[in-house]
Structure 1
Amino acid sequence: MSVKFVDFEALNLRSKAVLAPATRIGILHLGQQVEELEPDIQGDWVKIKAEVDGVQAEGVVKSVIDGKRSLRDPASASREALVGEAIKEWLRFEKGQGLEHHAPFFDFVGEMWRAIGLDLDGKDRDTPWSAAAISFMVRNAAERFPKYAKFKFAASHSRYMHASIVKRNAGDMDVPFWGFRLHEKRPEIGDIVGRWRETPRDFDDAETSDSFKSHTDIIVSVDSDSVLAIGGNVRQSVSISRYDKTGAGFLAATNGVFMHMVNRT
């Protein structure tokens, strides 16, 4: 047996290796931990044990879907801790369907704000809460891995984007993230994608300033040509976004992406 993680937003667990409604036991979610019991059943199925509706169940899943493996190997424990916190919030917001200003979701947004010392909630819709969400996820990961507590928790993404570059330039080994240009490092789960909003920015801008409109998401899945990343205040919820990669495997400079915060925990 070996530990694996689901690498699709939704993956059918089936009673046997037959694609039919009657064989579906349940649906597994992105980032869900499972136990691989037996690989390569009938060539392209894997037997696993997983939790479905609160109960442990055994069944099979397709091993490859549209050219991508459905299960991935674990990353480091500290990276998995952060990914797990991002997935937890995505699930808490009903996989992106729970809207910020509706109950109980506005209370969840309020939790995120209070964690950085601000008395706001999801009904304060003129104030973006996306940086508060990322700060909340990182802070929760710090309960298991204290290095995350050195994060620059803030209500603005640009604050911690700038700090990650400054700390890298200073060679500060104690912080959880260093900021890199897109061509310098290939993305891994637990890293953070940095984007500009409204006004185009580049890495040099983030190096010299900590005040500009921006957005970040935590990478939770890496494919050959793209990554999936979770962030807050995305479509008024905690949602998944897809980011392109270049042919060389780096984050592509599309949709405002201009920097890459590498997880050093």
Structure 2
Amino acid sequence: MSMFADKLVAKATQEYDTYRNVLENRSPLKERIGAYWVFLGRSDLDGGDDVPWSAAFVSFMVNLAGAGAQFPYNSQHSAYFYRTINDKLTRRSRPFLGYRPQEIAIAPGDILGMNRGSSPPIDYGWAAHHDDYSSHADIVVDVAADGTIHTIGGNVGRAPGEIGRKTFSLVSGAPVNDANANQQAFVVIRSFLP
């Protein structure tokens, strides 16, 4: 694992440990979500608003891990899915590339892109041509010897949302959420930062 991947796993794990079991509309997570939004230029939002914040969580964690200007930060996952998928397809030399799950061995520090739990699955090829749709992403924090993938993400868990963990199993080479088989990862964003 690269130093960046190590830091991303550590930052996501620390955030989970600090705010686990705290709902998004309760202090201190409510204010912390406000910091995620401020990073993206939205000082008008915090955990008390009914606005999906999982992309803000991922963007904030990637920044804390040291990506600087190298990551296409956005309040929508679909925007950075589009960018990293197209950078990979056009063979651009970029520090973050979006792969089909079947193309690489998923590792800690990767970002798993998927549909929202109740939405239809998303196709990688379709996502290469669209940058504005509902989606979700989690940070991979561990991959067990049997291939089970453990993630941490924002705006998951109990309603209205919290920082939570998920477990994914590979089905035909693609990660599927063990708690909701409808939620399937279609892109793995890999960092090539040192």
- Map 1:1-265; keep pairs closer than 5 Å: 75-93=1-19, 96-118=20-42, 119-124=44-49, 126-142=50-66, 146=67, 148-175=68-95, 177-197=96-116, 198-223=119-144, 224-235=146-157, 236-246=161-171, 250-253=173-176, 254=181, 255-265=183-193
- Give the secondary structure class of the aligned counterpart of 2:155: strand
Unmatched runs of 5 consecutive residues or more in structure 2: none
Cα–Cα, structure 1 residues 201 and 251, in superposed 2: closer, same or farther, change >3 Å? closer
The structure richer in strand per residue is 1
Look up the SS of the partner of 2:87 in the other structure: helix
Deviation of 1:246 after TM superposition, in Å, equals 4.3
Contact 1:243 1:251 (8 Å CA) reproduced: no
Letter in 2 for 1:207: A
Letter in 1 for 2:156: V
% same residue: 32
Alpha carbons of 1:90 and 1:153: their partners in 2 closer, same or farther (altered >3 Å)? same
Q: Could you tell me the TM-score, scaled by structure 2's length?
A: 0.87
Residue type of the partner of 1:239? G
CA RMSD of aligned residues (A): 1.6
Larger radius of gyration: 1
| Equivalent pair of 1:186/1:251 in contact (CA under 8 Å) | no
TM-score, normalising length from structure 1?
Answer: 0.65
Number of corresponding residues: 181
2:92 counterpart letter in structure 1 = D
Shift of 1:263: 2.3
